[in-house]
Chain A
Amino acid sequence: MPKISFETRGNSLGVNEDVNGAQRKFPHMPIGQAVDMGFTSEGVPLIDPRIFDSGEFGRNPYPYYRILRDHYPVYYDQLHNCYFVTRYDDITESYFDEIGFNTIPKGSSSGVLGNTQLELSGIEHRRRRNIYGRHLVGAALTKRLHALEQIADELISEWWLSANPKEVLINNETGTATIELGKAFANEFPISVVAQVLGIPQEARQQFTWWYDAMMSGLGGSETHHEGLEARQDLEEYVEDLVDQKRNAPTYLTDEAGNNICLDIISELCNSEIDGDVMSTEEITSFIALVVGGGGETTRGAIMNLWYLLLQHPNQFKAVRSDSGLWDTAFHEMLRHSTSIGGQPRHNTNDLTLHGVHIPAGSLIHMVDVSANHDDRIFANPEDFNIFREDLYSGKILRSGHAKEGKCSHMAFGVGPHLCPGAWISQQETVIGSKILDKTLGNVRINYERMPKDIDGVSLAPIGLGSIRELWLDFDLPN
């Protein structure tokens, strides 16, 4: 009998891989190219699920999603005990099938946000959405837009304070200034908007930022989970008192002259009644936690990614500056190209066979929204950022989605019953915030020296999954 070599035996494919070990070291590839993980005899590329834990995947996810879409429209990842569904049409269909693909067995917020909308289905889900959803859309939202403009103006006015809280670098000789857009604006803007429209008193804003940071980093059951739950607990204790107060004495958003515009959202929630049903304090806390989570980081990422992409496409940026109606179009194309939410988990209610893959009932299925947005069955040249593309619908955000006359809506907010309730306000924040920034940022350009670089040390870091961490901008000082 031949001598046994356990380390190598059993690899007749001749695949060049790190045969053993728990974590595989994947090389960083040029953006858009996948690591060679081997091929089947039919020439189908193989996917090693350890890639999903790698840094390479975080910075360069799209070539891998393309392989999944083209060859494994349902990919069973036994290592992480889940399935990935990556094609636009499959995801759309399952989002509308609330019964076949439920949200019941939890996962999304690992207990940190509480029992939120993300994890409810059917009547229970609709009941809550009916109570609060209307405060973030339509006429109710329009009434609150004033607050957005005010906050943006205030933040920008801080750039010129002598204490320099936003760390603006001013060079009077050249007449230019340098900012990091996150620090100067995008980190704080969405969270201030959320605090304001919710009706969190000014003195608690500092605390609010900590709740937000801790809960966000506590997601995913990691070592920071503990701090996340502490923050949730702390938030709940605070909200409990606040709710008591607002149930008795509702508070209002006011305009510059101090006139009441409308009730803040917490006051609305405390006093809303639908079919004789009111929201409990626990429900309000979970709602706040979700709005804080959903309304902070995502919108920060949207502002950062939008400016990053536009500044790298000067012609498109020029077009947007000359026609402010295009800011909305650019917002949608940015979300299609680089949204900061990867996707949504679902669980199949019954046994199911999809694209020939048997999925036992109760399995975790990741609906990969970012992959749907790059599905070239829907969007031509999906890796290109192009606000003029003709296949993207960029009109009013619809719960039913849009697929007509060659135009499809992007999947960044999902579709169907779980469509992001913050979609409309997020769009308003990003567009209004950007328009106000645009007025101040004359002759704006990326400061390449200060920007994080990709692995070659020369090119700008790609957005990858999520949003860019820093965006350094130079601009001419206003006169």
Chain B
Amino acid sequence: MEDQEKYEIDEEPESAPGYRTYEVYQRERVGETTNLIKPRELISDSYLHDPYPLVGLLRENYPCYRDWLGNRFWITRYDDVTSVFTDDRNYQTRTKTWFYGLQDYGKNLWNEISVQKAFESNVDEHIAKITGEALLNWDRDGFDLAVDFCAEIPLRLWGAILDISDEELNRFVPLFWRMQRGSGWNPIRRKDGLAAVEEMEALLDPIFSKRRNDPSTDFISAIAQVELTDREISTTDLVVTILELDHETLHGGLSNLWFNLLQNPDEMGKIHDDPRMLKYAWLETLRYTPPVLSAKRFTKTEVERFGRLLPEGSLMMCSAAAANRDPRQFNNPDTFIVGRKDLCQREPRGQYRADGLPSGISFGLGKPSIHPAVPKERPRSLYAIVRDCAVTASSMLLEKKPNIKLIDQSSPELKSLLLEEIHTCWELKVSS
């Protein structure tokens, strides 16, 4: 046993001075156990289909749930979720490029006012025309509102914003879709997504070079004209900006809006009575059925919140699905009510309570703006642009097909195809 004595004294590293050995262990009491839920349920097929009962259970019983299997804390109450989103000092957002390991690949230029303006003006200019084209397919065999309208419009819109040819758009769409799906947890898709990033760069590179020398009013030209302080702008910056912007809320939100309206004739009636109610139907859709179910944040330092000491680097799974149905904020939260009185009806730009009322969480917004009013020269927020897009497209659909209804015996459903992907309706067969 001499050896043991010797090694215990000689071989162990000495702790550095000031090294903290005190533990952040927190005693859990018997009453605080989480036996109403198994962590495996949060990665189950039933969560993919209907996450609301599960996250509701968390919200009402374990508002800061330590999920051992997924090594994360689930935050599920409205006030708690927004408190994380607005606290940039303590929580960090990791972007899609981060998860791809492409931190040095390119720069997301969305914060450039000129880029936002180009995006806004191109969307505004093209949305009506694109919707009209999508509706031309109405009589085509097997027309599916979810696919041929809700999913197609955002993709066609990208074609118009980028001002690329039909042939280029046909190549762009699958690359875009692969790139988006690849940033998740599935390494098979990730490899595929990384390949798509490269192919996307190859596709856009000649267009980018051309517009850099000979700019027009499109989105690519706007990006090509941005001046960076440290280096030349390049196609990689364009690809990263497209990757981070994505189309999930417009696609998923549009599909969920029609899913909700077609299944709730009374609410649809409100829109027939006054088409201006469509905007409120959209806002209520984002509250009642947000397509992006949750957003991730990571603690920058050890921080005490929600009655727990959260270690540095902890993953906070902020559940929009749970927060948006928090009865502390919304009456009858599990009912789809167009024009509900307890939902903020203005555009949240950073804050969630523009009128002192909560808005549906569907975008992970940052800390509140310090400006008392939105400066005039700034474009509308992405939230508002997407909302207006959805409302315009939906108004046109309703105008053209006022008697739109679900095909008899069809029972559409919302689901995510994979964990952490959008929760939306993938098949919506309708007739007029």
Q: Does B228 contact A (CB under 8 A)?
A: no
**Contact assessment for A223 and B35 in the assembled complex, using a CB-CB cutoff below 8 Å:** yes
**Contact assessment for B189 and A137 in the assembled complex, using a CB-CB cutoff below 8 Å:** no
Q: How large is the interface on A (under 10, 10 to 19, 20 to 34, 35 or more residues)?
A: 35 or more
Annotate A220-236 by CB proximity to B: 1 below 8 A, 0 otherwise: 11111111111001000
Q: Does A80 contact B (CB under 8 A)?
A: yes
**Contact assessment for A22 and B43 in the assembled complex, using a CB-CB cutoff below 8 Å:** yes
**Contact assessment for B21 and A364 in the assembled complex, using a CB-CB cutoff below 8 Å:** no
- Give the Cβ gap from A459 to chain B, nearest Cβ, in Å: 29
**Contact assessment for A38 and B188 in the assembled complex, using a CB-CB cutoff below 8 Å:** yes
* Chain A residues within 8 Å of B33, by CB: 225-226, 228-229
Query: Given the known A-B contacts A79-B419, A360-B313, are A49 and B187 also in contact in the complex, defined by CB atoms under 8 Å?
Result: yes
CB contact list, B191-218 vs A, under 8 A: 191-193, 195-196
CB contact list, A350-402 vs B, under 8 A: 358, 360-364, 396-400
For the complex, give the distance between the alpha carbons of A361 and B40 in Å.
26
* Chain B residues within 8 Å of A99, by CB: 13, 15-16, 19
Q: A9 is contacted by which of B44, B174, B185 (Cβ under 8 Å)?
A: B174
**Shortest Cβ distance from A359 into B: residue:** B313
**Contact assessment for B418 and A20 in the assembled complex, using a CB-CB cutoff below 8 Å:** yes
Q: Does B147 contact A (CB under 8 A)?
A: yes
For the complex, give the distance between the alpha carbons of A63 and B195 in Å.
27
* Chain B residues within 8 Å of A27, by CB: none
**Contact assessment for A124 and B23 in the assembled complex, using a CB-CB cutoff below 8 Å:** yes
Q: Does A35 contact B (CB under 8 A)?
A: no
- Give the Cβ gap from B44 to chain A, nearest Cβ, in Å: 5
**Shortest Cβ distance from A49 into B: residue:** B185
For the complex, give the distance between the alpha carbons of A20 and B3 in Å.
55
* Chain A residues within 8 Å of B196, by CB: 10, 12
**Contact assessment for B313 and A362 in the assembled complex, using a CB-CB cutoff below 8 Å:** yes
Query: Given the known A-B contacts A78-B99, A226-B33, A358-B101, are A347 and B313 also in contact in the complex, defined by CB atoms under 8 Å?
Result: yes
Q: Is the interface of A mostly helix, strand, loop or mixed?
A: loop
Q: Does B401 contact A (CB under 8 A)?
A: no
CB contact list, A81-130 vs B, under 8 A: 81-82, 96-99, 104-107, 110-111, 114-115, 119-126
**Contact assessment for B43 and A1 in the assembled complex, using a CB-CB cutoff below 8 Å:** no
* Chain B residues within 8 Å of A139, by CB: 1
CB contact list, B151-209 vs A, under 8 A: 151-152, 155-156, 166, 169-170, 173-174, 177-178, 181-182, 184-189, 191-193, 195-196
* Chain B residues within 8 Å of A416, by CB: 12
* Chain A residues within 8 Å of B370, by CB: none
* Chain B residues within 8 Å of A362, by CB: 298-299, 311-314
**Contact assessment for B25 and A222 in the assembled complex, using a CB-CB cutoff below 8 Å:** no
Q: Does A259 contact B (CB under 8 A)?
A: no
CB contact list, B308-328 vs A, under 8 A: 311-315
Size of chain B's interface in residues, with CB distance under 8 A?
A: 83
Q: Does B47 contact A (CB under 8 A)?
A: yes
For the complex, give the distance between the alpha carbons of A38 and B187 in Å.
10
Q: Does B45 contact A (CB under 8 A)?
A: yes
- Give the Cβ gap from A288 to chain B, nearest Cβ, in Å: 16
**Contact assessment for A46 and B187 in the assembled complex, using a CB-CB cutoff below 8 Å:** yes
Q: B188 is contacted by which of A37, A126, A227, A397 (Cβ under 8 Å)?
A: A37
**Contact assessment for A221 and B34 in the assembled complex, using a CB-CB cutoff below 8 Å:** yes
For the complex, give the distance between the alpha carbons of A251 and B45 in Å.
55
**Contact assessment for B70 and A81 in the assembled complex, using a CB-CB cutoff below 8 Å:** yes
CB contact list, A217-267 vs B, under 8 A: 220-230, 233
Annotate B56-67 by CB proximity to A: 1 below 8 A, 0 otherwise: 000000000011
For the complex, give the distance between the alpha carbons of A38 and B314 in Å.
31
**Contact assessment for B38 and A12 in the assembled complex, using a CB-CB cutoff below 8 Å:** no
Q: Does A161 contact B (CB under 8 A)?
A: no
Q: Does B379 contact A (CB under 8 A)?
A: no
- Give the Cβ gap from A205 to chain B, nearest Cβ, in Å: 24
For the complex, give the distance between the alpha carbons of A220 and B33 in Å.
12
* Chain A residues within 8 Å of B12, by CB: 98, 126, 399, 416-417
Q: B3 is contacted by which of A115, A220, A398 (Cβ under 8 Å)?
A: A398
**Contact assessment for A96 and B13 in the assembled complex, using a CB-CB cutoff below 8 Å:** yes
* Chain A residues within 8 Å of B70, by CB: 79-81
- Give the Cβ gap from A335 to chain B, nearest Cβ, in Å: 18
For the complex, give the distance between the alpha carbons of A111 and B32 in Å.
11
* Chain A residues within 8 Å of B15, by CB: 98-99, 121-123
Query: Given the known A-B contacts A13-B188, A362-B311, A362-B314, are A233 and B195 also in contact in the complex, defined by CB atoms under 8 Å?
Result: no
Annotate A128-165 by CB proximity to B: 1 below 8 A, 0 otherwise: 00000000011100000000000000000000000000
- Give the Cβ gap from A478 to chain B, nearest Cβ, in Å: 36
**Contact assessment for B170 and A2 in the assembled complex, using a CB-CB cutoff below 8 Å:** yes
Q: Does B273 contact A (CB under 8 A)?
A: no
Q: Does A204 contact B (CB under 8 A)?
A: no
**Contact assessment for A12 and B69 in the assembled complex, using a CB-CB cutoff below 8 Å:** no
Q: B417 is contacted by which of A7, A37, A358 (Cβ under 8 Å)?
A: A7
Most buried by A among B19, B147, B178: B19
* Chain B residues within 8 Å of A222, by CB: 38-39, 68
Q: Does A438 contact B (CB under 8 A)?
A: no
- Give the Cβ gap from A48 to chain B, nearest Cβ, in Å: 6
- Give the Cβ gap from A249 to chain B, nearest Cβ, in Å: 29
Q: Does A273 contact B (CB under 8 A)?
A: no
**Contact assessment for B19 and A229 in the assembled complex, using a CB-CB cutoff below 8 Å:** no
Q: Does A23 contact B (CB under 8 A)?
A: yes
Query: Given the known A-B contacts A10-B181, A38-B188, are A105 and B311 also in contact in the complex, defined by CB atoms under 8 Å?
Result: yes
- Give the Cβ gap from B427 to chain A, nearest Cβ, in Å: 10
* Chain A residues within 8 Å of B24, by CB: 104-106
CB contact list, A5-25 vs B, under 8 A: 6-7, 9-13, 15, 17, 19-23
**Shortest Cβ distance from A126 into B: residue:** B12
**Shortest Cβ distance from A348 into B: residue:** B313
For the complex, give the distance between the alpha carbons of A233 and B30 in Å.
7
* Chain A residues within 8 Å of B182, by CB: 10
Q: A111 is contacted by which of B23, B27, B47 (Cβ under 8 Å)?
A: B27
* Chain B residues within 8 Å of A223, by CB: 35, 37-38
**Shortest Cβ distance from A233 into B: residue:** B30
- Give the Cβ gap from B127 to chain A, nearest Cβ, in Å: 16
* Chain A residues within 8 Å of B371, by CB: none
* Chain A residues within 8 Å of B8, by CB: 399
**Shortest Cβ distance from A416 into B: residue:** B12
**Contact assessment for A125 and B21 in the assembled complex, using a CB-CB cutoff below 8 Å:** yes
CB contact list, A408-451 vs B, under 8 A: 416-417
For the complex, give the distance between the alpha carbons of A139 and B4 in Å.
12
* Chain B residues within 8 Å of A79, by CB: 43, 70, 185-186, 419
Annotate B332-369 by CB proximity to A: 1 below 8 A, 0 otherwise: 00000000000000000000000000000000000000
Q: Does B48 contact A (CB under 8 A)?
A: yes
Q: Does B378 contact A (CB under 8 A)?
A: no
- Give the Cβ gap from A74 to chain B, nearest Cβ, in Å: 12
Q: Does A174 contact B (CB under 8 A)?
A: no
**Shortest Cβ distance from A120 into B: residue:** B23
Q: Does A341 contact B (CB under 8 A)?
A: no
- What are 14 A-B pairs at a CB distance below 8 A? A1-B173, A4-B152, A12-B192, A21-B45, A46-B187, A49-B185, A78-B99, A98-B15, A105-B313, A106-B24, A111-B26, A362-B298, A398-B4, A400-B11
Task: List 3 A-B pairs, minimum CB-CB distance, nearest first.
Answer: A362-B313, A105-B311, A221-B68
Question: Could you list which residues of chain B lie within 8 angstroms of chain A, going by C-beta atoms?
Answer: 1, 3-5, 7-8, 11-13, 15-16, 19-30, 32-35, 37-40, 43-45, 47-48, 66-72, 99, 101, 103, 147-148, 151-152, 155-156, 166, 169-170, 173-174, 177-178, 181-182, 184-189, 191-193, 195-196, 298-299, 311-315, 417-419, 426
Known: A79-B43, A119-B25. 6 other contacts (CB 8 A): A15-B188, A49-B185, A105-B312, A115-B25, A138-B4, A223-B38
Question: Could you list which residues of chain A lie within 8 angstroms of chain B, going by C-beta atoms?
Answer: 1-4, 6-7, 9-13, 15, 17, 19-23, 37-38, 40-41, 46-49, 53, 77-82, 96-99, 104-107, 110-111, 114-115, 119-126, 137-139, 220-230, 233, 347, 358, 360-364, 396-400, 416-417
